[in-house]
Amino acid sequence: MKFFSWFKNESEEKPQADFNKGWKTLVEWLGLDDKVGDALSDATYYTCLKILSETIGKLPLKMYQDTDKGVIKSDKQELYNLLKLRPNPYMTSAVFWATVEMNRNHHGNAYVWIRYNGVEPKDLWIMQSENVEHVIDDAGLFGEVNNLWYKYTDPKTNKIYVIPSDNVMHFKTSMTFDGIKGKPVRDILKETVNGNLHSQKFMTNLYKTGLTGKAVLEYTGELDDKSKKRLVKGFEEFSSGSKNAGKIIPVPLGMKLVPLNIKLTDSQFFELKKYNALQVAGAFGIKPNQINDYQKSSYASAESQNLAFYVDTILFIVKQYEEEITYKLLSQKLIDSGYYWRFNVNVILRADSKTQMESLAIGVNNGIIKPDEARNELDRPIADGGDRLYANGNYIPLTLAGKQYGAVVDSEGGEE
């Protein structure tokens, strides 16, 4: 499906890929690459991705229809089962949406290819974000001018697929300057994340050396470079590493080993590390208590914490998913008929059992919900007579107030 003449074919792209790989190896061998590791190595960054992806993964996705009689569950069972149970043969719904959310945050964009069987969606496939390019058909060669296409290169076969935007669900971060392509958080907070990685690398090296800091070796006389290196190596063998922690270091006559008294507390190492962690978490919309920082927690309960997390962080993400899924997966005819997709966010806002029972009882007693609907919330079977609304018989309209006492009520609601 090579539609555009400016796309490189496989034979043209492979030498470039080989060159990039060779150049990367050369730079690393020369020691010119100052990378300290992948962003996922940072515990805070990883925790934020984990929380967001698992939150989206555990939200049940439901299909509804807005009718003249109100909102009802969708009767499109086959389409509903595709997203609810298994979007493709290899992924459950929970794993699928968690993976989409992971790509959206880490790469800034997540792409889902919709394959059709006729006019009905057949299955959904997640495309590797780093292998997707956006192509704008500004000449209108294949339909409307400035139509958006997605070019996907299979990393295993190098086969190129060009897919119209109607067949791709595109989820992006809120940080976008053109509304088409999102920017990953790790690019925006590159220096902060790198700082966290450097601090972790420093701590790792400190543990490797048995928590022994740097030291100055004082000696009299002159030593050539080879002798210096051999002498330092000998001291390191006795002083570094967890196996030598607390052991005696032999020092030759005329030499003195003076440790450099550099304390982590003096440099406020842990305070800075904690501050950077909060900065990264804040960029993702993750609350401090979710990364185990309870120092300034002001929430009255876990329910209020979840509500704040939903309103401040999850609401935008869920709304974007619902809008994209509804627009791309449903035909215009179904959309006009009132069909739409909605995540059930009650799973993260669910209260304790006592509060839940009290709220359901209030709803049933005041004619807001039916008993069967309340039982359904508790995963209980329906009961006889449970499909009716009930209300307290003592309640009457204001226009009839006093009638039960024999008073005559005029048309304005007052007594005569």
Summarize pLDDT for 315-351 with one digit per residue, the tens. 999 999 999 999 999 989 999 999 999 998 888 877 6
The whole-number average pLDDT for the span 67-72 is 85
Q: Indicate whether 372 pLDDT > 60.
A: yes
More confident residue, 315 or 240: 315
The whole-number average pLDDT for the span 381-406 is 76
| Dihedral of alpha carbons 349, 355, 356, 358, sign | negative
In this prediction, residue 266 carries a pLDDT of 53
More confident residue, 252 or 26: 252
**What crossing angle do the helices spanning 43-57 and 93-107 adopt, rounded to 10°?**
140
pLDDT tier at 33 (50, 70, 90 boundaries)?
very low
Q: Indicate whether 357 pLDDT > 80.
A: yes
Q: Indicate whether 210 pLDDT > 60.
A: no
Question: 197-206, 219-228, 362-371, 386-395: which range is least confident on average?
Answer: 197-206
In this prediction, residue 110 carries a pLDDT of 96
Asked whether 195 and 269 are in contact (CB, 8 A), the reply is no
pLDDT tier at 70 (50, 70, 90 boundaries)?
confident
pLDDT tens string 124-183: 999 999 999 998 877 666 667 678 899 999 888 889 998 999 999 999 999 888 889 998
Q: How many Cβ atoms are within 10 Å of 298's Cβ, its own excluded? A: 8
The whole-number average pLDDT for the span 384-409 is 72
In this prediction, residue 339 carries a pLDDT of 93
Element (H, E) at 206: helix 190-208
In this prediction, residue 30 carries a pLDDT of 43
In this prediction, residue 270 carries a pLDDT of 67
Q: Indicate whether 412 pLDDT > 90.
A: no
Asked whether 382 and 375 are in contact (CB, 8 A), the reply is yes
Map tokens 């030291």 to a residue.
215
Q: Does the pTM of the predicted model rise above 0.75? A: no
**Mean pLDDT computed over every residue of the chain:** 78
Q: Indicate whether 53 pLDDT > 70.
A: yes
Q: Indicate whether 29 pLDDT > 50.
A: no
In this prediction, residue 23 carries a pLDDT of 53
What is the side-by-side order of every strand in the sheet holding 109-117? 120-127, 109-117, 168-172
